[in-house]
A and B are shown apart, each in its own frame.
Chain A
Amino acid sequence: ADYTLRFAHFFPAVAGQQKDIFDKWAEAIETQSNGRIEVEMYPSSTLAKPPALYDAAKHRIADVVVTVQGYTANRFPLTQIVELPGVVQSAAQGSCVLQSIYDEGFLDKEYRDTKPLFLFTHGPGGIHTVDKEINSPEDLEGLRIRRPTAVVAKILEGLGAQPVGMPAPDSYQSAQRGVIDGVSLPWEGQYTFRLNELTPHHTEVGGLYTLSFVATMNKSFYNKLPADLKKVIDDNSGMDWAKIAAASFDRLDAEGRKQALEMGHKINVIEGGAENPRWKPVLYQATEDYLAELEKKRLPAHKVYARAMELSQTTCK
């Protein structure tokens, strides 16, 4: 091969995302470039730790990385608007919203260091607890819940829970020992991190939150490619791949949910989701606080939020 492309991410090598998204993308690149680009996979953070992944693409430690924007707090504030309550009901919808906002140029400033290929989100995050059944925000009072990012921490805090930051693989042991009372994860995460083994109570609040992801490329790697290979990369960027990624997450969500049901767990579905009158006020407040904070930094937060909601209710529905 003329070019070796190092592709790094933090998912385990056997994770569904590897087969459904990353392997497929690698295969597409290799065949469409007639083998002139060879893709080398680096799963399980073997090339960079999760918080360092984005910079790994920037500094060409890896040529392409897939990472969670929220792992580097405050670096992608406008992107993370997609994560706010009420925006996302499924990975397909969330990915469509995020990719569209990016395509419309709202997020250009946040990604000027690298060349984003496609952006996506996971499905709706839920609350999964060890002992206590969660029906309303009051039930969360004082519970220690593992959170993925600062934005989700704000939402949980708004609900009265105590967000606890810890690496995702640690949540299993912590839940087992009672250090945390539960986790906030989509079904796919429950499945990947084996947490269905420990948390028999599940609460689905439609549109509670989501997490945004980006697959992004080192700029100089892209710039050095000849025009025809650049085209191969361009052909494998954007909405099409956002949709492929989303389909994988939605499929894995279904699998994780099925697993819980097969284990005889109870799934508590909050009627109306984030719009439910008992949940809406606190979630609305968390959203407003987040947007206000961004506006204070002179970021067009309300504008992006309005567009995200519009997309979520129209084009991406």
Chain B
Amino acid sequence: MNSLSRVFGKLTLLMHWIGGVFLIGMMFSTLLDVITRGLFSLTDGAVDWTFIGGVELVKYFLLFTVLFILPHSVSRSQVIVDLFTDHFSERKKQLFEAFYMLCFAFLGGAMSYSFYHLIDEAAMSYETTQDLLIPMTYFYGVATFATAMLFLSALLNAFSLVFTKKKGDDA
């Protein structure tokens, strides 16, 4: 169980860093858009390196960035109100957290299920993005994968919270 979740942890960490690459991609695609547009108007249209779809690139970079960081972050990057439960024992807090991780696993699973159906539906309807005309089915495919990883990550976390007495450090 422990080695499984360690290997899995490495996998979600890898996804996390791929999310980082998308983040940088988001910055560069905006810059490219701004700079080519600037050059175009500075040179009165002589230097036309402008391209169509800048907004779309940013949109989908954002989507991928967040989708890829969700599995690694589900147990780490959460905002919790600690006002009323300070007096709880560590074990009790751990069990609560395990329950909430199970809920996340359920939601992640349901999301993945929902996206999985959209893959086929989008393939049948030939829907594409507006500017770059990329088939939507790819996006749903990626979303299905990322949310399935969210499901597994939350589930494994719930288990390790229940079965290890001390909070496991699997970063």
Q: A and B: direct contact (Cβ < 8 Å)?
A: yes
What distance in Å separates the Cβ of A74 from its nearest Cβ neighbour in chain B? 5
B127 touches A73 (CB 8 A): yes
A153 touches B130 (CB 8 A): yes
B55 contacts A by Cβ under 8 Å: yes
B129 contacts A by Cβ under 8 Å: yes
Query: Assuming A150-B133, A162-B50, A166-B55, is B128 touching A74 (CB within 8 A)?
Result: yes
B168 contacts A by Cβ under 8 Å: no
Q: A73 to B135: give the CA distance in the assembly, Å.
A: 9
B-side contacts of A165, CB under 8 Å = 53, 55-56, 130-131
A163 contacts B by Cβ under 8 Å: yes
Within 8 A of A (CB), among B13-55: 37, 40, 45, 48, 50, 52-53, 55
A149 touches B130 (CB 8 A): yes
Looking across the interface, which residue of chain B has its beta carbon closest to that of A167?
B55
**Is the interface on chain B under 10, 10 to 19, 20 to 34, or 35 or more residues?**
10 to 19
B-side contacts of A55, CB under 8 Å = 118, 121
B50 touches A141 (CB 8 A): no
Partner of A75, one of B45, B50, B125: B125
Q: A72 to B125: give the CA distance in the assembly, Å.
A: 10
A164 contacts B by Cβ under 8 Å: yes
Most buried by A among B125, B126, B127, B130: B130
A169 contacts B by Cβ under 8 Å: no
Q: A166 to B131: give the CA distance in the assembly, Å.
A: 11
Partner of A73, one of B52, B121, B130: B130
B45 touches A141 (CB 8 A): yes
Q: A238 to B126: give the CA distance in the assembly, Å.
A: 26
Summarize B's interface: helix, strand, loop or mixed: loop
What distance in Å separates the Cβ of B171 from its nearest Cβ neighbour in chain A? 35
Total contacting residues, chain A, CB less than 8 A: 21
Partner of B133, one of A72, A73, A142, A164: A73
A164 touches B127 (CB 8 A): no
Query: Assuming A73-B133, A142-B40, A142-B45, is B128 touching A163 (CB within 8 A)?
Result: no
Q: Mark A129-171, 1 if CB is under 8 A from B, else 0.
A: 0000000000001101000011001000100001111100000
Query: Assuming A142-B40, A165-B56, A166-B55, is B130 touching A150 (CB within 8 A)?
Result: yes
Q: A142 to B131: give the CA distance in the assembly, Å.
A: 17
Looking across the interface, which residue of chain B has its beta carbon closest to that of A163?
B52
Within 8 A of A (CB), among B30-87: 37, 40, 45, 48, 50, 52-53, 55-56
What distance in Å separates the Cβ of A50 from its nearest Cβ neighbour in chain B? 11
A-side contacts of B55, CB under 8 Å = 164-166
Looking across the interface, which residue of chain B has its beta carbon closest to that of A144?
B37
What distance in Å separates the Cβ of A207 from its nearest Cβ neighbour in chain B? 23
Within 8 A of B (CB), among A51-67: 55, 58
Query: Assuming A142-B40, A142-B45, A142-B48, is B127 touching A150 (CB within 8 A)?
Result: no
Q: A149 to B130: give the CA distance in the assembly, Å.
A: 7
Q: A102 to B120: give the CA distance in the assembly, Å.
A: 25
Looking across the interface, which residue of chain B has its beta carbon closest to that of A178?
B41
Looking across the interface, which residue of chain B has its beta carbon closest to that of A149?
B130
Q: A164 to B131: give the CA distance in the assembly, Å.
A: 9
B-side contacts of A297, CB under 8 Å = 126
What distance in Å separates the Cβ of B60 from its nearest Cβ neighbour in chain A? 12
List the 5 closest A-B pairs by CB distance, nearest first. Answer: A75-B127, A74-B128, A142-B45, A75-B125, A73-B130
Question: Could you pull out 10 A-B pairs where Cβ atoms are within 8 angstroms?
Answer: A72-B127, A73-B128, A74-B126, A141-B45, A142-B40, A142-B48, A144-B37, A153-B131, A162-B52, A166-B55
